[in-house]
Structure 1
Amino acid sequence: MRDSTTGDAHLVLDLALTVRHDGDGGVTDDLTGPAALTAWVHAHPDAFPTARRFVADEDHLTAVRDLRTLFAHAVRPGRPSPADAARLLPLPEALRRLNDAAARTPTVPVLEWPDGHGPVARRRPVPDRGHDLTAVLAQGAIAFLAGPDREHLRACHAPRCVRYFLKEHPRQEWCKPSCGNRARVARHHERHRRTG
């Protein structure tokens, strides 16, 4: 498990980005089954100490997908991604599942004191214990959702986009420039359709 909030943010954003636009007006879920989840975990060896030995099953897949829907709650009062709007868990149930998952890997406090800075308390998994995938992701999600980055989380509402992103400057409205281009083209076509 990563210790830095930035690492946690990137990990949970990577998880959120496993749902994306498919290019044909639909939504693609990169986590199509246990094998796809296994490959995703293997692609994040720094976040999961036992990543190379991990093999996902259906229960892992369901739990990870449930965690992913918390992003829809985090962007409120804004609209969630269209990918999550139809399958959104009620917030109390989503929180119960998140907290239950996070509790499966016990952690211990660790004090770090970098040169030139004050001491910082962080939590690390108990040494020599198995690392539960959902627990690691849940702990990362908690760190992200309770941290300062949550205030910058947005759902991209460009046509056909279903991604979440961190707003990096006040005028940013979309997750990437191509989404901004699609939104401007759609507005242009809509104006001409109404006046034409």
Structure 2
Amino acid sequence: MTDTTPLIGEPLALDLVNTRPLGTDLLATTEQLADWLARQSDRHPELALDRPARADLAAVHDVRDHIAAALDAVLHGQPPPAAALRALTTAQAAAPAVRHLRWDGAAVVATPHRDGPSATCLSAVLAEAAADLLTDPALAKLKRCEADDCVLLFLPAHPKRRWCSPERCGNRVRVARYYRKHKE
């Protein structure tokens, strides 16, 4: 995995915030957004969007900024900024999910559906993911990667987890430690 490939696998809101490591925007273009959405759509089918437009990209950046502000406050033991919480609430309200019911031949299936422009719907999905994360008691475990050159966030499944990814930062830290130890 390269540092230009966004990590996925954390809660959706964290995955979104983690697309901006150390001043680099891994969602700088509509093509990068399309790739990220495609990678996320297995876990989050509502994110399926073949050809995002500039408006979609701007909407995602806006929601990402509000989530990042809220999480940064949480990491520092502060309450999330009221403006960020209002913006996330407004984004959710702009395209609420209505569960459409249908018979699939064996059972009733409920499929979330949103009305509105794709940017509005995308913002609503991401803002709902932020609401889920910000209200989850597990948020108290939120950590920033301990690698010196990494700012990615994660929710550790194991209390000893220190890095965003064992393959990415964990390996680099262990290799650097090995070379320092054997250089002396």
TM-score class normalised by the smaller sequence: 0.5 to 0.7
Task: Kindly state the Cα deviation for residue 100 of structure 1 after the two structures are TM-superposed.
Answer: 1.0
Q: How does 1:1-196 map to 2 (within 5 A)?
A: 10-20=11-21, 27-45=23-41, 46-48=44-46, 50-52=48-50, 54-57=52-55, 59-69=58-68, 70-77=70-77, 91-108=81-98, 125=112, 127=113, 129-130=115-116, 132-177=121-166, 179-180=169-170, 185=176
**Alpha carbons of structure 1 residues 35 and 109: separation in structure 2 relative to 1, 3 Å:** closer
Report the count of equivalent residues.
154
**Would the aligned equivalents of 1:11 and 1:140 in 2 still touch at CA under 8 Å?**
yes
Which secondary structure state, in structure 2, belongs to the residue aligned with residue 103 of structure 1?
helix
1:135-159 deviation line (CA, Å, top 9, x unaligned): 1000011011101331222111321
Normalization by structure 1: what TM-score? 0.61
Identity of aligned residues (%): 33
**Alpha carbons of structure 1 residues 129 and 28: separation in structure 2 relative to 1, 3 Å:** same
Unpaired runs of 5+ in structure 2? 1-8, 101-109
1:40-75 deviation line (CA, Å, top 9, x unaligned): 223333432652254342532431332341332232
> Distance in 2 between the 1:41 and 1:91 partners?
27
Unpaired runs of 5+ in structure 1? 1-7, 21-25, 79-89, 111-122, 190-196
> Distance in 2 between the 1:73 and 1:165 partners?
15
1:19-55 deviation line (CA, Å, top 9, x unaligned): 23xxxxx542201134422332233334326522543
Q: CA RMSD in A?
A: 3.6
Task: Kindly state the Cα deviation for residue 182 of structure 1 after the two structures are TM-superposed.
Answer: 5.2
The structure that is helix-richer by fraction is: 2
**Would the aligned equivalents of 1:19 and 1:28 in 2 still touch at CA under 8 Å?**
yes
**Alpha carbons of structure 1 residues 137 and 179: separation in structure 2 relative to 1, 3 Å:** same
1:59-110 deviation line (CA, Å, top 9, x unaligned): 32431332341332232339xxxxxxxxxxx712211211111111123589
Opposite residue 28 of structure 2, the aligned amino acid is: T
**Alpha carbons of structure 1 residues 181 and 35: separation in structure 2 relative to 1, 3 Å:** closer
> Distance in 2 between the 1:56 and 1:67 partners?
19
Task: Kindly state the Cα deviation for residue 179 of structure 1 after the two structures are TM-superposed.
Answer: 3.2
> Distance in 1 between the 2:165 and 2:38 partners?
26
